[in-house]
Amino acid sequence: MGLKIAIQGVKASFHEEASFKYFGEDIETIECDTFKKTCELLKQKKVDYVVMAIENSIAGSILPNYNLLRDYKFNIVGEIALSIHQNLLALPGVKLADIKFIESHQMAIRQCEEFLQELPDVKISESSDTAASAAKVANQKLTDTAAIAGTLAAKTYGLNILEAKIETNKKNSTRFLVLSNDVEEQASANKASLSFQTGNSVGSLASILQCFADQNINLSKIQSMPVIGKRNEYDFFVDVEWKKQSDYDAAIRKVLKHSINFNIMGEYVKNDRI
């Protein structure tokens, strides 16, 4: 067996699917109940990498994971964009009319709100993972319960797809980060994840953003998180992309003059192809 990859969730989860897409299938995925557990395993060097979801095109950013990135200070060495199609899964022979309960991860439920609104008499419950919900239906032989999960989960746990592609937006995708204890130099890097704080003065954030614009650096994402215990202070997490390394280097030099607690979380190859 090859690399050990910590994932939140169980076999056939979207995290495992993303791991296979990035590393290939000759890996060992280590199942974890929580994202914090994946980070602990990496910190203890019991795994080689963590694959962590960070944002979904429908449900938005996974904010608690930004706190983990800040607290553990791992290096971001890659990213994966995965097209997400959610399906309603049930035991063979079970019909939609038989379903009284549906369960899945909260992000999956949010992605399927329009479909679920058409089932007002069905109770919706949150679980730790999409594939774990599928496994529960299969293992406990629940004839009144369906799970929202991917096609890999249906195949793995022997469930039928009652309704396919029930996500509200058919261009649903999730971005995952690949985390490592070590910096991995990548000669063709063209994307970086950065974090910093600003001074509490008028235009301080705008000054930093202008530094990127002046050097033709594309700001592909910005996320703010409150600094714990400090009122009106924020950590800013940004993703930037560039075509010329010299432009990026110049932008960083400028940003350093305007920011506080600046940190390069990772420089890696842009990989947003679905």
Let me know: does 154 contact 134? Beta carbons within 8 Å.
yes
For 178, counting Cβ atoms within 10 Å of its Cβ (0-12 exposed, 13-18 middle, 19+ buried), the class is buried
Q: What is the pLDDT of residues 30-50, one digit of tens each?
A: 999 999 999 999 999 999 999
The predicted pLDDT at position 189 comes to: 97
What letter does residue 156 receive in the DSSP assignment? Answer: H
Top pLDDT among 126 and 227 is at: 126
The rounded percent of the chain whose pLDDT value lies above 70 is: 100
Whether the full predicted model's pTM is greater than 0.75, yes or no, is: yes
The predicted pLDDT at position 44 comes to: 98
Q: Which amino acid is at 240?
A: V
Q: Go through the domains of the chain in sequence order and give each one's CATH number.
A: 4-83+173-180 (3.40.190.10), 87-163 (3.40.190.10), 191-268 (3.30.70.260)
Let me know: does 172 contact 58? Beta carbons within 8 Å.
yes
pLDDT band at 220 (very low <50, low <70, confident <90, very high): very high
Let me know: does 148 contact 108? Beta carbons within 8 Å.
yes
Cβ of 177: how many Cβ atoms within 10 Å? 24
Beta bridge pairs of residue 173? 83
The predicted pLDDT at position 1 comes to: 60
pLDDT band at 249 (very low <50, low <70, confident <90, very high): very high
Separation of alpha carbons 205 and 241, rounded Å: 18
Separation of alpha carbons 232 and 51, rounded Å: 32
* Tokens matching residue 177: 């980060």
What letter does residue 37 receive in the DSSP assignment? Answer: H
Helix H, strand E, coil C: the string for 69-85 is: HHHHCCEEEEEEEEECC
Nearest Cα residue to 17 out of 152, 170, 159? 152
Nearest Cα residue to 180 out of 168, 193, 170? 193
Let me know: does 49 contact 184? Beta carbons within 8 Å.
no
The predicted pLDDT at position 15 comes to: 97
Q: What is the pLDDT of residues 145-162, one digit of tens each?
A: 999 999 999 999 999 999
Mean pLDDT of the chain: 95
- The Cα angle at residue 60 between residues 54 and 66, in degrees rounded to 5: 35
The predicted pLDDT at position 231 comes to: 80
Separation of alpha carbons 266 and 274, rounded Å: 21
The predicted pLDDT at position 201 comes to: 78
Q: What is the pLDDT of residues 157-213, one digit of tens each?
A: 999 999 999 999 989 999 999 999 999 999 999 999 999 999 777 889 999 999 999
